[in-house]
């Protein structure tokens, strides 16, 4: 049995981890206890992101992140200035289906080439345009030209859950084997992979024939028991919440009383976390938070369930 002092020390210093008697209680590294995570991001708001990428993702139950430049987006189908670019109504439809529509700069301003005041205007104008036309406030950002330097980096990080600091091209230069090895490495290392491309059949880094990408997604789908495919915002939010959350756990008879504490802005960080309970014999486990029943899965001698890190006490009954 863990001593009270050991429990207290762990609650204070171990992210998302605590103990109560024979039970080990912690937040899973990734949603639903998956081994690794991957996000697929698309830059520049191309028309085929709507006609090809989004439907193919949806067919497999996935959702992507689309970083757009508002100055290039067509007003609607009656006002097409550039046939290679998406329209605002199409972006709204994608958002309604669960895809993330986010900020890549109004006019794709390179952070190393423009003064801070110009970049601020570019960033805020794109935020406003996305909110006005799509109905969502962008909470992430992808750096134009992948240039991560200058004063604007601190500014753009404000009121966001994250900016895209790493990515791996999944475009024309990647063979089917390259993509397969990437996923194998993510599973082996338990890492989060951020895939990025622009064009599919045209434009920068285009596949020409995107069948290679569809087949890659089929392989990822076949391994979804290990891989969490989430939008960029979902995964970066989850990881930061998991790092910051603390759990206070007490045991009373066959019940665990778990109080999560998360010192982050709940208006920005909205992802549920996955709690894991292990350590003893569990034939049946139920969980409630604020009188709401939480669906529980039992796998490999562990109980998994999603919870709201801002939602107050969780009561877990173990039989």
- 158-195 tens-digit pLDDT: 999 999 999 999 998 899 999 999 999 999 999 999 99
Cα separation, 143 vs 167, whole angstroms: 11
Cα-based angle 222, 226, 227 (whole degrees, multiple of 5): 80
Nearest alpha carbon to residue 139 among 121, 119, 162: 162
Structural domain boundaries of the chain? 4-33+246-318, 36-224
CB count in 10 Å sphere of residue 66: 28
The pTM for the full model equals 0.92
| Structure confidence by residue, pLDDT tens digits, 106-153 | 999 999 999 999 999 999 999 999 999 999 999 999 999 999 998 999
Q: Do the domains 4-33+246-318 and 36-224 sit in the same CATH topology, yes or no? A: no
Where does 4-33+246-318 sit in CATH, by number? 2.60.40
Domain 36-224: which CATH number of 3.40.50.10210, 3.20.20.370, 3.40.50.300, 3.30.300.30: 3.20.20.370
Nearest alpha carbon to residue 31 among 294, 298, 274: 274
- The runs of H, that is alpha helices, within the chain are 4-13, 47-48, 54-59, 88-96, 116-134, 152-157, 176-189, 211-222, 232-244
Please state whether beta strands 23-27 and 273-278 pair in parallel, antiparallel, or not at all (unpaired).
Answer: antiparallel
pLDDT at 1: 33
**All residues at 6 or more sequence positions from 52 whose CB lies less than 8 Å from its CB, including other chains:** 200, 201, 210
Give percent above pLDDT 70 in the chain: 93
Cα separation, 268 vs 124, whole angstroms: 17
- How many helices (H) and strands (E) the chain has is answered by 9, 18
DSSP 10-50: HHHHSTTEEEETTEEEEE-SSGGG-SEEEEEEEES-BHHII
Band (8; pLDDT cuts 50, 70, 90): very low
Phi-psi label, residue 199: left if phi above 0, alpha if psi -120 to 50, beta otherwise: beta
| Structure confidence by residue, pLDDT tens digits, 262-292 | 999 999 999 999 999 999 889 999 999 998 9
């Amino acid at each position: 049995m863990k001593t009270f002092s050991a429990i207290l020390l762990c609650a204070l210093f171990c992210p998302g981890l605590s103990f109560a008697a024979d039970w080990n209680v912690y937040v899973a590294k990734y949603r639903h206890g998956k081994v690794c995570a991957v996000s697929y991001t698309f830059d520049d708001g191309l028309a085929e992101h709507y006609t090809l990428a989004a439907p193919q993702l949806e067919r497999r139950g996935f959702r992507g992140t689309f970083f757009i430049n508002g100055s290039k987006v067509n007003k609607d189908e009656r006002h097409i200035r550039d046939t290679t670019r998406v329209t605002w109504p199409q972006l709204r439809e994608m958002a309604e289906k669960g895809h993330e529509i986010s900020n890549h700069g109004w006019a794709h301003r390179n952070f190393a080439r423009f003064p801070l005041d110009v970049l601020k205007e570019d960033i805020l104008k794109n935020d406003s345009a996305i909110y006005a036309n799509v109905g969502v406030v962008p909470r992430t950002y992808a750096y134009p030209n992948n240039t991560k330097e200058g004063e604007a980096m601190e500014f753009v990080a404000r009121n966001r859950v994250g900016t895209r600091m790493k990515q791996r091209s999944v475009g024309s230069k990647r063979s089917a084997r390259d993509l397969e090895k990437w996923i194998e490495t993510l599973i082996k290392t338990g890492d989060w992979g951020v895939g990025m491309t622009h064009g599919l059949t045209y434009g920068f880094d285009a596949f020409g024939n995107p069948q290679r990408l569809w087949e890659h997604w089929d392989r990822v789908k076949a391994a979804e028991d290990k891989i969490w495919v989430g939008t960029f915002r979902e995964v970066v939010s989850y990881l930061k919440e998991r790092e910051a959350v603390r759990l206070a756990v007490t045991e009373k008879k066959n019940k665990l009383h778990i109080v999560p504490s998360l010192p982050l802005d709940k208006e920005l960080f909205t992802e549920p976390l996955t709690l894991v309970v292990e350590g003893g014999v569990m034939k049946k486990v139920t969980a409630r938070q604020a009188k709401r029943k939480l669906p529980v899965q039992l796998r490999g001698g562990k109980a998994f369930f999603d919870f709201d890190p801002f939602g107050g006490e969780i009561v877990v009954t173990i039989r």
